[in-house]
């Protein structure tokens, strides 16, 4: 079952990436990346973690995605040949931002030494 979920996660990630590139107009200078997908074991829910560069555009991009989530879900449903179809939700992946903050602190400590 775990391998099946991993394959489904990769399939959803690939399809959602194409949908976002073709259908979503990101604010100028923004880059939206799907970092990973976490599908529930019963396939009812798929959490799509996205990274947005620059991070300052995160709220604006998330608002755009949430505003069109029904339409995006429809695009995905037409592309997937599986049942049940997971209901998607978008979550900001803050891993890169947190890593950047840690790196900034470490560089500051290094300069002070």
Q: What is the pTM of this model?
A: 0.82
pLDDT exceeds 80 at position 1: no
Topology (CATH level 3) of domain 2-112 = GMP Synthetase; Chain A, domain 3 (3.30.300)
Per residue in 3-57, pLDDT (tens digit) is 999 999 999 999 999 999 999 998 888 999 999 999 999 999 999 999 998 888 9
Q: Given the structure tokens 């991070």, which residue do they identify?
A: 55
Per residue in 46-85, pLDDT (tens digit) is 999 999 988 889 999 999 999 999 999 999 999 998 888 9
Domain boundaries, the chain: 2-112
Helices within 1-113 (DSSP H only)? 2-23, 58-67, 69-79, 95-112
For 42, which DSSP code? Answer: T
Name the residue among 113, 6, 95 with its Cα closest to residue 49. 95
């Amino acid at each position: 079952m775990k391998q099946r979920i991993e394959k489904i996660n990769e399939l959803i990630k690939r399809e959602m990436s194409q949908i976002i590139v073709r259908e979503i107009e990101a604010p100028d200078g923004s880059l939206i990346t799907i970092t990973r997908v976490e599908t529930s074991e019963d396939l009812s829910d798929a959490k799509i973690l996205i990274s947005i560069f620059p991070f300052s555009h995160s709220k604006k991009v998330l608002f755009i995605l949430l505003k069109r989530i029904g339409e995006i879900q429809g695009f995905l449903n037409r592309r997937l040949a599986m049942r049940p179809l997971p209901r998607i939700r978008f979550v900001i992946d803050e891993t890169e931002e947190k890593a950047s903050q840690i790196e900034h602190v470490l560089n500051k400590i290094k300069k002070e030494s």
